[in-house]
Structure 1
Amino acid sequence: MLRRLLPLFCASLLFMASTALAAGPKTHLPGDLTMQEALTVQNAALEKARAQGVPMNIAVVDAGGHLKTFVRQDGAFLGSIDVSIKKAVTARYFNMPTSALGAAAQPGKELFGIEATNGGLVIFGGGELLVRQGVVVGAIGVSGGSVAEDTNVARAGAAALK
């Protein structure tokens, strides 16, 4: 009985494999940020930055915390390039806005000193999570203005994904 089923089983495996290969390899994980989504987030953030009149550096990272898009507006601080990227990475690494992590990292608080970990984190406002259908798919980090201005721009970008 088993010998009769073996050829049928092998034929089924070959069919499934050929069907999968014909469809092409899956290069994008379903729980990750797409390029189009990253650009939508970036463009909404740029629009808010323009409205505020403050040149910004805007970084968008994917679900793994890797840079997906980045833009530096004319006149934005060079030193804020790294800050914007680290804000996005920090938000994604800890699944919370950088402002929330910063509140928990104040002297005497439970996470004091956390900014010295992971190659350096940024723990003040301007890093926000990107959430699609209840799943964290990335984060945005913004730097170039005051903390309030950075936060406004980052929140505008994050809201565009919803």
Structure 2
Amino acid sequence: MKNMTRDPYKNKATITLDAANALIKSVLKAGETQGLHLSVSVTDAGGHLQAFGRHDLAAFLTVDMALDKAWTACSFGKPTHIWNQLVQDPHMAPIASRSRMVAVGGGYPIIANHQVIGGLGVSGGTHEQDRTIAEQALTDLGFELS
């Protein structure tokens, strides 16, 4: 349980600040290696911002995209890239109009011990680059991929 703690108000496991900062460091380092200017956010289990990082040259839109990718992934417990296909269904399409809903790769739930303890959002590359960097950071730090 080193990467999670219990929220005293909700009695729910959530990511620690140390683990959130480690994810941010991993993502920003991967971005620099690839010449990408990224923003990265980590939410707690309730979808609230736990930590945030941004490369000096990251475009300002990447900030909100990273936040919303983490929120979307945490709220549904599923990566954001799956929603692009799902919202093509007319019965699911209305969900795409939600203001914080993001159907683009780069958002992942943070899972430990088979439970969602937060969300990770990466923005600044292509949807494939954001997705790959998020997956690698989660894997490197020992989190489960959904």
TM-score > 0.5 by shorter chain: yes
The equivalent residue for 2:21 is 39
* Percent identity for Structure 1 against Structure 2: 29
| The structure with more helix, counted as a fraction of residues | 1
User: Which consecutive residues of structure 2, in runs of 5 or more, have no partner in the other structure?
Assistant: 1-7
Asked whether the equivalents of residues 28 and 54 of structure 2 are also in contact (C-alpha less than 8 Å), the reply is: no
How far apart are 1:62 and its partner, in Å?
0.6
CA distance in structure 2 between the partners assigned to 1:38 and 1:88 by the alignment: 12
User: Which consecutive residues of structure 1, in runs of 5 or more, have no partner in the other structure?
Assistant: 1-25
Residue 84 (structure 2) pairs with residue 102 (structure 1): yes
**Equivalent of 2:31 in 24, 33, 49:** 49
The equivalent residue for 2:94 is 113
**Structure 1 runs of 4+ with >2 Å offset:** 26-30
TM-score, normalised via structure 2 length:
0.84
Distance 1:112 1:73, change over 3 A: same
User: How large is the RMSD of aligned CA atoms in angstroms?
Assistant: 1.8
TM-score, normalised via structure 1 length:
0.76
The equivalent residue for 1:83 is 65
How far apart are 1:109 and its partner, in Å?
4.7
Asked whether the equivalents of residues 130 and 138 of structure 1 are also in contact (C-alpha less than 8 Å), the reply is: yes
Q: How does 1:121-160 map onto structure 2 within 5 Å?
A: 121-159=101-139, 160=141
Asked whether the equivalents of residues 71 and 100 of structure 2 are also in contact (C-alpha less than 8 Å), the reply is: no
| The structure with more strand, counted as a fraction of residues | 2
Cα deviation, 1:44-74, whole Å, max 9, x if unaligned, reads 1122112211010001101000011111101
CA distance in structure 1 between the partners assigned to 2:138 and 2:91 by the alignment: 28
How far apart are 1:115 and its partner, in Å?
2.1
Number of residues paired by the alignment?
135
